Amino acid sequence: MKVLVTGVAGFIGMHCARRLLERGDEVVGIDNLSPYYSVQLKQDRLAQLKHRAFRFSQVDIAEESALEDIFRKEKPEAVLHLAAQAGVRYSLLNPQACMQANVTGFANLLESCRRHPPRHLVFASSSSVYGNDPKLPWSESHSVDNPVSLYAATKRSNELMARVYSRVHGLPATGLRYFTVYGPWGRPDMSPMLFAGAILQGKPLPVFNHGDMQRDFTYIDDIVEGTLRVLDRPVPYAIFNIGNHQAVPLLDYIAALERALGRKAELEMQPMQPGDVKATCADTERLRAAVGFAPSTPLDAGLARFAAWFRQYTKAWTI
């Protein structure tokens, strides 16, 4: 089928688009190539998608007419919406950019889907919608009314907006609450690349909340598998967690990364950052029941693959 992938030059977007192409789908990819982080990295990801069935356009979803032109021209059969202004902390520093991309952009996408209905819209939500809920693991039935960052609030708003379009306009829509995704071609503002860079360059590694944190680290291949299985099963409306169902202590994660890189880290303990949460862990029973799959890649295995890619991509840093 023909699939529109927004944010195709992003971490999850590139991996999903590549898998779609490998299985024989046609992919129309759009991305605004925002300078929020390295545009060169985004272009390098796009270079991985050279394929006769792939077309790319530089489009900002916040520009309604440009997005509508893509829908009118391509008439995608499915939409995988991964474009967003990422960054929990960044949303507190630059709220307008977050609102423009994540709320206005998503509203534009829903309107284009209403006018040119796909068989299924799958969109990225986030584990951040759970806020600081102390009851782990987090289930889709838990309350999500207490976000601790603007980014989380925009992602929760996406879920509610999509529910309205599903009920009022009959748009099949599914939101995916991703949990701390890592792997090759990851985002440079997230801990795997930040930590790996610091370790290989012998720089201090900032450890927030003095290391008293836990994260449900989810390997990118598992994210792609779960996402595409959901994409292939349209429903009127649903929300699923996609996580590894493991709350890994931050210091254990750093130790695993040290093993993968063969280097020791210099730790610099720091206080908790605004908008951060202490622990995350996904209950994935709803996802498993719906599509027969839930992430399970062990952290050591995933970090070994990440480290091999990172060393190759940043050779100058390992000298």
Residue 90 has a pLDDT of: 87
My answer on whether 202 and 135 are in the same domain is no
The one catalytic residue in 36, 151, 219, 253 is 151
For the segment 169-181, what is each residue's pLDDT rounded down to a tens digit? Answer: 999 999 999 999 9
Average pLDDT over residues 203-231: 96
Considering the domain architecture, whether residues 154 and 275 belong to the same structural domain is answered as: no
Domain count, the chain: 2
Distance CA 13, CA 163 (A): 23
In this structure, what CATH number is given to the domain that contains residue 55?
Answer: 3.40.50.720
Residue 207 belongs to a domain? yes
Rounded to an integer, the average pLDDT of 15-34 is 98
Are 205 and 71 found together in one domain?
no
Range of the domain at 260: 182-215+246-280+298-318
What DSSP line would sit under 13-57, residue for residue? Answer: HHHHHHHHHHTT-EEEEEE---TTS-HHHHHHHHHTT--TTEEEE
Q: Identify the burial level of 43 via C-beta atoms within 10 angstroms of its C-beta, where 0-12 means exposed, 13-18 middle and 19 or more buried.
A: exposed
Give residue 274's pLDDT: 82
Residue 117: both structure tokens together? 């209905």
* pLDDT, mean over the chain: 95
What is the reported pLDDT for 318? 47
Please report the DSSP string for 223-235 in residue order: HHHHHHHHHTS--
Question: 279 in helix, strand or coil?
Answer: strand
68 and 175 assigned to the same domain: yes
238 in the same domain as 276: no
Q: What is the DSSP string of 263-275?
A: ---EEEE-PPPTT
Is the same domain home to 238 and 135?
Answer: yes
Within 10 Å of residue 96's Cβ, how many Cβ atoms? 9
Q: Where are the alpha helices (DSSP H) in the chain?
A: 11-22, 39-47, 64-74, 88-93, 95-99, 105-115, 150-169, 191-201, 220-231, 250-261, 285-291, 299-313
pLDDT of residue 319: 37
pLDDT in tens, 112-155: 999 999 999 999 999 999 999 999 999 999 999 999 999 999 99
Res 317: pLDDT: 55
Same domain, 251 and 130: no
- Whether 289 is covered by a domain: the verdict is no
Instruction: Convert the pLDDT of each residue in 245-301 to its tens digit.
Output: 999 999 999 999 999 999 999 999 999 888 788 999 999 999 999 999 999 999 999
Same domain, 208 and 269: yes
92 pLDDT band, cuts 50/70/90, is confident
Span 4-19, average pLDDT? 98
Residue 22 has pLDDT above 80, yes or no: yes
Instruction: Give yes or no for a contact between 136 and 213, defined as CB atoms under 8 angstroms apart.
Output: no
Residue 303 lies in a domain: yes
Question: How many residues in total does the chain contain?
Answer: 319
Q: Is 130 a catalytic residue?
A: no
Look at residue 115 in the predicted model and tell me its pLDDT.
98
* C-alpha to C-alpha distance for 290 and 21, rounded to whole angstroms: 24
123 shares a domain with 21: yes
Across the range 34-55, mean pLDDT stands at 96
pLDDT of residue 118: 98
Q: Are residues 128 and 172 in the same domain?
A: yes
Residue position matching structure tokens 């391509």: 74
